[in-house]
Amino acid sequence: MLPNPKLLFTFMLISLTIPEAYAAQCNAASGKTVVPLLELYTSEGCSSCPPAEQWLSSLDLGASKLTPLAFHVDYWDYIGWKDRFARTAYSERQRKLAALGGARFVYTPQFTFNGRDFRSWNDARLKLGIENSNNQIAHASLALNLSNEGKGEILLKTSAHSNYPDDARQADIFIAIYENKLTSQVNTGENSGHELQHDYVVREFLGPYQFDRNNAFAKTITLKPEWKGRNAGAAMFVQSRFTGSVLQSLKLPLCL
């Protein structure tokens, strides 16, 4: 029996339009439970940092399980090698998290898990932490949307909402643009003569922002055309400014 011509035409029309729609935009939305945030504080001037970065790169976990980010600090630059990914703001963030946790000093490599110092990092400890977080009800809902702009730019729309007013009043919202598969040939300092490979490197970090009176937040960010085709992504997380605990996190690869 021959197919219905009208149904065939409709199927052909959908087949033609769906790829174009997916090429134009991509989205991510958080679920009902907490996706934990794993932060690495690292430096190209630190000889003990490459193993930590290799472990971070090896984590093959989906966006529903973990949001990993690598912050390169600048306080190692004095020894002779300037880390091109380092920012003073990232060093300050590390110190602030340490102070919230009652620590008197910072170090590299340092992992934090949901804002808390995460020593003796390994797969088993991380799996347990993820399972515990995934069993907690999230106190914030997040959404990320990427779309193409006419001038070749990428439009990143971010939004957040909380059903818990007390948490919303005490929370900060952060947005990060990260990049993978980066390499550096280090010529001086503790890693002299080595080629270092980096993933989840925070290239742009925005915030802190706050929820409005309706416990909502929205911000649109324009990324320059040179971001197209790069192995990169956007991440967003909500964090208590008093304890450092993470209410929710979300990441989305640059899928355009």
Note the pLDDT of residue 7.
42
pTM greater than the 0.75 cutoff: yes
β-pairing, 232-240 vs 195-198, is unpaired
Check residues 14 and 148 and name the one with the higher pLDDT: 148
Note the pLDDT of residue 248.
98
Tens-place pLDDT, residues 88-99? 999 999 999 999
The alpha carbon dihedral of 85, 217, 23, 29 has a sign of: positive
Mean model confidence pLDDT for the chain: 91
Nearest to 108 by CA among 74, 142, 157: 74
Check residues 231 and 63 and name the one with the higher pLDDT: 231
* Overall average pLDDT of the 125-132 stretch: 97
pLDDT at 9 over 90: no
Note the pLDDT of residue 4.
53
Query: Rounded to whole angstroms, how far apart are CA atoms 23 and 104?
Result: 48
Note the pLDDT of residue 6.
47
91's CB contacts (< 8 A; 6+ apart) are 73, 74, 75, 106
* Overall average pLDDT of the 215-236 stretch: 96
pLDDT at 179 over 80: yes
Contact 237, 220 (CB under 8 A): no
Nearest to 178 by CA among 112, 90, 95: 90
Single-letter residue type at 136: Q
* Overall average pLDDT of the 230-235 stretch: 97
Tens-place pLDDT, residues 22-63? 345 699 999 999 999 999 999 999 999 999 999 999 998 888
Note the pLDDT of residue 20.
35
Note the pLDDT of residue 19.
39
Note the pLDDT of residue 256.
77
Rg (CA), the chain: 20
* Overall average pLDDT of the 227-253 stretch: 96
* Overall average pLDDT of the 218-244 stretch: 96
Query: Rounded to whole angstroms, how far apart are CA atoms 236 and 67?
Result: 9
- From residue 205, give the alpha-carbon distance in Å to each of 3, 16, 69, 159, 193: 54, 38, 11, 16, 30
pLDDT at 16 over 80: no
pLDDT at 217 over 80: yes
Check residues 150 and 134 and name the one with the higher pLDDT: 134
